[in-house]
Amino acid sequence: MSHLFEPLALRSINLPNRIAVSPMCQYSSVDGFANDWHLVHYGSRAAGGAGLVITEATAVIPQGRISPQDLGIWDDRHVDFLARIVHFIKQRGSVAGIQLAHAGRKASSPPPWENRSVTLTGAEGGWPISAPSAIPFDNCSVIPTALSGAGIEEIVTAFVQAARRALLAGFQIVEIHAAHGYLLHQFLSPLSNQRTDQYGGSFENRTRLLREIVTAVRGEWPDNLPLFVRISATDWVEGGWDIDQSIELVRQLLPLGVDLIDCSSGGSMPQARIPLGAGYQTHFAEQIRRETGMKCGAVGLITAPAQADHIIRSGQADLVLLAREMLRDPYWPLHAARELGHLTPWPAQYVRAAPAHTPAYLPSK
């Protein structure tokens, strides 16, 4: 009996299985708009049987984009095409999630295939960047401007407006991106946040912005729909953000109405030494889940069906999120079901290629 294909109930939403497509930037938008690439990319992974498809980091304001080609949701005009993608994902029986993001001091960068980690100049299509403190990410990045109190308020409002648009587009889950060294993680980590106001210094102060955004978004996002937060459980750097602070943060997020913590790590410090290996971040999900009672998602080098099934069966996490393996194989969930001996439905159009007795899934209207 596989556990990977058990449904997961989150408020009024039922994930048909425990497999999620982890957020992955596609660097394929113009002015933040989704297009045919996004429809095919997310659509194939929904057709491939993922229970949850979460969009890439979707910028809440243009200055919060990682690159000029990032997906965005700062304008009501972004909603229409996103709604088309959501409609297709739902038709395939999958659940549609959106990751809301601001890149802070890591904004205004070229897409990774350009292979140069510099801050883009205005002439290259870049823009001035801001962060909690005027500390650059590395020696290729420009020094960001420290956000003013008014600047912080604008960002809180932008997250709320983005959540409102996500609901209009039909998304069923919102994930707030507070990981990988982007703006909200920059506030959490004492290495990137050296403010002396109510947003810096103590743990209480460094976590304040994330708590304010979660509270404000939860106020906008309907009670019957789930809210996730992605965190980096550790900076992997001495004196930085770590697992103990993550556990304390999650204890505070639970009563604010967060339904699941998506447990990643790293991304905030270029000098971090990360012990990469199969499931290298799963123990963070396990520890946070055990010590806080929060539902958790595990991510990071989860590639084999038996490995993913074990994570769910042994209670290390409630959900597994796969990124690069889903790029290699959009049909990973269908292949995993075959390997684990689970008869999950295949798209009716493909059922003749499926194992014997596989039920056919007909799209809903």
Ligand X SMILES: Cc1cc2nc3c(=O)[nH]c(=O)nc-3n(C[C@H](O)[C@H](O)[C@H](O)COP(=O)(O)O)c2cc1C
Q: Which of 24, 96, 231, 258 binds ligand X (CB under 6 A)?
A: 24
- Told to check if 179 binds ligand X by CB under 6 A, we report yes
For position 322 contacting ligand X by CB under 6 A, the verdict is: yes
Catalytic residue among 27, 42, 182, 331: 182
Tell which residue, 9, 320, 4, 361, has the closest CA to residue 173: 9
Instruction: Tell me the number of residues near ligand X by CB under 6 A.
Output: 20
Spatial contact of 82 and 73, defined as CB atoms under 8 Å apart: yes
Q: Which stretch binds ligand X (CB under 6 A): 81-89, 117-125, 175-183, 337-345?
A: 175-183
Please give the torsion angle defined by the CA atoms of residues 241, 246, 251 and 257, in that order, rounded to the nearest 10 degrees.
100
For the CB of residue 67, give the shortest distance to ligand X in the complex, in Å.
11
Rg (CA), the chain: 20
Hey, how many other C-beta atoms are within 10 angstroms of the C-beta on 122?
9
* Residue 177 contacts ligand X per CB under 6 A: yes
Alpha-carbon separation of residue 43 from 38, 40, 89, 92 (angstroms): 8, 5, 6, 8
Residue 267 beta carbon to ligand X: minimum distance, rounded to whole angstroms: 8
- Give the other-Cβ count within 10 Å of 349's Cβ: 12
Q: Which of 264, 268, 287, 316 binds ligand X (CB under 6 A)?
A: 264
The string of DSSP codes covering 192-256 is T----STTSSSHHHHTHHHHHHHHHHHHHS-TTS-EEEEEES--SSTTS--HHHHHHHHHHHGGG
Q: Which two tokens stand for residue 61?
A: 């304001």
Least distance (Å) between residue 249 CB and ligand X: 17
CB of 112 to ligand X, least distance (A): 7
Nearer to ligand X, 195 or 329 (CB): 329
Instruction: Tell me which residue has tokens 């009024």.
Output: 12
Q: Give 56 or 286: the residue with its C-beta nearer to ligand X.
A: 56
CB closer to ligand X, 57 vs 174: 57
The yes-or-no answer on residue 280 being catalytic is no
For residues 285-314, which are near ligand X according to CB under 6 A? Answer: 299-302
By CB under 6 A, name the one of 6, 75, 291, 325 that touches ligand X: 325
Using CB under 6 A, list all residues that contact ligand X.
22-25, 56-57, 99, 177, 179-180, 230, 264, 299-302, 322-325
Q: Active-site residues: which are they? A: 182
